[in-house]
Structure formats: structure tokens, C-alpha cells
């Protein structure tokens, strides 16, 4: 038996080596193909051809019922402009511009509410609501003081409840609204300057801010104490009572910069670490440092790092995934939003020009499907080659 096998191998050596060579070539090609699918390919620098071309996007809200968007932009030669553009018919509606109504510089925030309306403020005790190109102004009573509105959030249960983040002098606080009557400001802020607020669950709101301790108390320089990121839960159920700080936490370093709504809670984006505020109100750290977060239409959240970063984090259905980018993050993103299957980020490129970077949110599924298909093809092809080689050897042995 051994002599017959030896003779067969000697006789068929050229064919055997050829088959082995083809097999190893197949292995190498398959390995390169599978390796290629490990890199995220659904991102691209988007050529800017719309109204904000050449301008720095200061804030932007994408409409979810059409392809329109509302943006606050700035360009040195024209100043601030606030407008809604409708790319489908190449038209734009200006609310503020430097020629007719130069109020864009006074906009303190721009934000979409759950019903699709967009809120902003330019004057103390006033809130402007944009709905279908119609602007409505809410003028709140000054009986409980005058204040600047720097953010707002709404939640809907049986009624629509609106919580305002306000600034009074050098301090920030929260006020509920009952009609056009604001509550008194929240009395306890634990030394935190609050920056943003978002609805979490009925009667509960999530807020982010910065905490600065007494000079040198936390080990920082007495001349310039280091601000630290703060996260809080605000309790207010829509009544005339004052909002209350239910829970708060101050972290050791970094900065909280954005709040995004996920399918199972609220995501707080941070430069050192991000936080999930789950449905129970627990603060759960996420290993996803970033400079901005944006939620897509499916309830997942994308974390973008600084320009030059080679990875992209994605949170979906309770799982945090990290993707390798085919190219580094090309812009320093400052604002973003989602529309349809895309998430858009706006900022500056490496040479200081306004730029837009977009992510196709469906690329995640296509990458996983493509890699699975290649794995299956590799296994089937390899099994076929090995079977053919074994079958040929067996047949030759029988003939001999």
C-alpha cells in the first residue's frame, strides 16, 4: 500500500504541486477579501452644493418628513444667516439675514422637538417655534424673573410638557412651563453650569453641564480650577411646581458635549467617555470617547472622534461596536444630524474650510452580509478543492 502511494505521488507530483499552489492562491485571495470587509466603507466627504456652501454651519436641524433642513450659518463676508432650504425645488426661506433682519447672531440654540417642529430663541423670555415655514413666538411672563433661554426639551404623555434651560445673570437653571407662565427656577444646581437638556421618560429629564470646584479643591491650579463634566436627572412632571435636581454625578475629566436619544435610553457624548442613561435612570459608562454624537432614524447612535481618528463607534440595541475606517475622519465635526439613511456631520477640514462628512447607516448591514457571504464562499470553495484532490488521489490509488 505504501509503495503504491509513493509511486502515485511520484507520478503525479507536478499535478499535485499545481493543485496545492492553486489552493494556497485561493486562501490568500480569500483572506484579503475578508480582511477588506473589516473596514467601514459607508462614509464619504460630501461635496457641498446646497445653500450653506462656503459657510460655517453653526447649527443644523434636518427635517424628517422631506429633504429640507434648517441651518444657522456664518461666513465672514455675509455674517449670520438662518434659513430653511428645500433642495427638491432649489428654494430657500430666510428667517434672518444680515441685510434685512440681522438677528442670526443672537440665536442661542436651534433644536428639533419630537413633533418635528424646530425651536430657537433670540430674546429674553421668548421662544420661537418653526412649523411648516411658519414662525410662532411664545412670550413668557416675567413675573418669575427675566431669563435667556439656552435650550428646551419636550415630552408627550397625555399633554405636551416643555422644560426650559435658562440663564439668569451668570447662573443657569431649569424652568417648567404651564401655558405661558414659567415656574420659578430650580433652586439647587450643585454648582453646575448646565448646557443642554433632553427628555428621558415621563417626568424625568437628562441634563449635561460643567462643574468647577472651589479654587484648588480638586487638586487643580488654585488660579484656574479645572472644570469637570456633570450629568444630572431633573424631575418635573408638567405642573406648576419648580423642577428638582433628582440625581447628579460629576466625573473626573473631559467634557460632555452632546445628548442623543437611543432606542433604550439617552446617550451622553463625552471627550473622555460617553454615558448611557438607561430606562431605569442608571448612568452606565461607554468606552466611546468622541467630539460629537448623532442618533439616526433607527434609534442607534454614532460617535465621531477628532479629525484623524481611524475608528468609528456605533451603539445599537444595547451593543457598542467599533469599526475601522477605510480612511481617517477627515473633518473636525462641530454639529450634525440625520435624514433618511444618512447621518451628516459638519465642521472644518484640514485646511480650515467648511466641510461635510456623511455616513450611510445601511452600510453596516451590507458589510456584515458581505463578510458572511465571503466566509461561506471561502469554506465551500476550500471544501470543494480538498474534496476534488482527495477524490482524485483515491481514484488513482484504485487504478494502480
DSSP 97: B
Number of folded domains in the chain?
1
The answer to the question of residue 274 being in a domain is no
The answer to the question of residue 388 being in a domain is yes
The answer to the question of residue 142 being in a domain is no
The answer to the question of residue 26 being in a domain is yes
| Residue pLDDT, tens place only, 221-279 | 656 678 999 999 999 999 999 999 999 999 999 999 999 999 999 999 999 999 999 99
Q: What SS3 class is residue 255?
A: coil
pLDDT score of 367 more than 60: no
The answer to the question of residue 53 being in a domain is no
pTM: 0.82
Show the cell assigned to 314.
Answer: 456605533
- Pick from 10-14, 53-57, 61-65, 69-73 the range whose average pLDDT is largest: 69-73
Q: Are 166 and 176 in contact, with CB atoms under 8 Å apart?
A: no
| Residue pLDDT, tens place only, 190-229 | 789 999 999 999 999 999 999 987 655 556 665 667 899 9
- For residue 5, what pLDDT is reported? 44
pLDDT score of 369 more than 50: no
The string of DSSP letters for 258-306 reads EEEEETTEEEEEESS-EEEEETT--EEEES---SEEEE-TTS-EEEE-S
User: What range defines the domain where residue 10 resides?
Assistant: 2-34+376-399
Q: Which residues contact 334 (CB under 8 A, 6 or more apart)?
A: 57, 58, 292, 346, 347, 348
Strand partners, 315: 301, 320
The answer to the question of residue 390 being in a domain is yes
Q: Closest by alpha carbon to 335, among 348, 321, 324?
A: 348
Lowest mean pLDDT among 182-191, 201-210, 317-326: 182-191
Lowest mean pLDDT among 301-305, 332-336, 387-391: 387-391
Q: Which residues contact 316 (CB under 8 A, 6 or more apart)?
A: 263, 298, 299, 300, 301
Q: Closest by alpha carbon to 79, among 102, 57, 58?
A: 102
- Report d(CA 174, CA 28) in Å as an integer: 61
The answer to the question of residue 8 being in a domain is yes
The answer to the question of residue 23 being in a domain is yes
Amino acid at each position: 500500500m505504501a509503495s503504491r502511494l509513493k509511486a502515485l505521488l511520484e507520478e503525479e507530483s507536478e499535478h499535485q504541486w499545481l493543485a496545492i499552489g492553486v489552493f494556497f492562491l485561493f486562501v490568500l485571495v480569500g483572506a484579503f477579501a475578508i480582511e477588506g470587509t473589516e473596514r467601514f466603507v459607508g462614509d464619504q466627504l460630501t461635496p457641498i452644493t446646497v445653500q450653506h456652501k462656503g459657510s460655517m454651519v453653526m447649527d443644523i436641524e434636518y427635517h424628517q418628513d422631506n429633504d429640507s433642513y434648517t441651518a444657522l450659518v456664518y461666513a465672514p463676508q455675509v455674517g449670520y444667516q438662518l434659513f430653511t432650504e428645500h433642495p427638491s425645488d432649489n428654494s430657500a426661506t430666510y428667517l434672518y439675514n444680515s441685510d434685512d433682519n440681522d438677528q442670526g447672531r443672537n440665536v442661542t440654540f436651534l433644536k428639533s422637538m419630537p413633533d418635528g417642529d424646530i425651536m430657537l430663541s433670540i430674546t429674553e423670555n421668548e421662544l420661537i417655534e418653526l412649523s411648516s415655514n411658519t414662525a410662532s413666538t411664545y412670550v413668557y411672563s416675567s413675573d418669575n424673573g427675566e431669563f435667556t433661554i439656552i435650550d428646551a426639551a419636550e415630552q408627550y404623555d397625555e399633554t405636551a410638557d416643555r422644560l426650559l434651560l435658562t440663564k439668569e445673570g451668570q447662573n443657569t437653571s431649569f424652568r417648567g412651563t404651564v401655558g405661558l407662565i414659567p415656574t420659578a427656577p430650580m433652586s439647587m444646581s450643585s454648582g453646575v453650569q448646565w448646557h443642554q437638556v433632553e427628555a428621558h421618560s415621563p417626568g424625568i429629564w437628562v441634563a449635561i453641564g460643567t462643574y468647577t470646584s472651589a479654587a484648588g479643591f480638586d487638586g487643580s491650579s488654585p488660579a484656574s480650577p479645572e472644570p469637570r463634566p456633570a450629568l444630572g436627572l431633573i424631575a418635573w412632571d408638567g405642573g406648576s411646581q419648580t423642577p428638582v435636581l433628582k440625581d447628579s454625578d460629576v466625573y473626573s475629566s473631559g467634557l460632555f458635549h452632546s445628548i442623543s436619544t437611543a432606542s433604550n435610553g439617552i446617550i451622553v457624548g463625552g471627550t473622555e467617555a460617553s454615558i448611557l442613561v438607561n430606562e431605569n435612570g442608571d448612568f452606565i459608562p461607554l468606552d466611546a470617547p468622541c467630539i460629537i454624537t448623532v442618533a439616526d432614524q433607527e434609534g442607534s447612535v454614532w460617535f465621531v472622534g477628532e479629525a484623524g481618528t481611524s475608528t468609528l463607534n456605533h451603539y445599537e440595541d444595547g451593543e457598542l461596536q467599533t469599526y475601522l475606517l477605510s480612511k481617517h475622519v477627515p473633518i473636525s465635526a462641530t454639529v450634525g444630524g440625520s435624514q433618511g439613511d444618512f447621518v451628516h456631520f459638519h465642521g472644518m477640514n484640514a485646511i480650515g474650510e467648511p466641510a461635510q462628512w456623511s455616513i450611510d447607516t445601511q452600510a453596516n448591514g451590507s458589510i456584515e452580509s458581505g463578510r458572511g457571504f465571503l466566509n461561506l464562499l471561502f469554506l465551500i470553495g476550500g471544501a470543494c478543492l480538498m474534496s476534488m484532490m482527495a477524490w482524485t488521489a483515491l481514484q488513482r490509488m484504485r487504478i494502480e
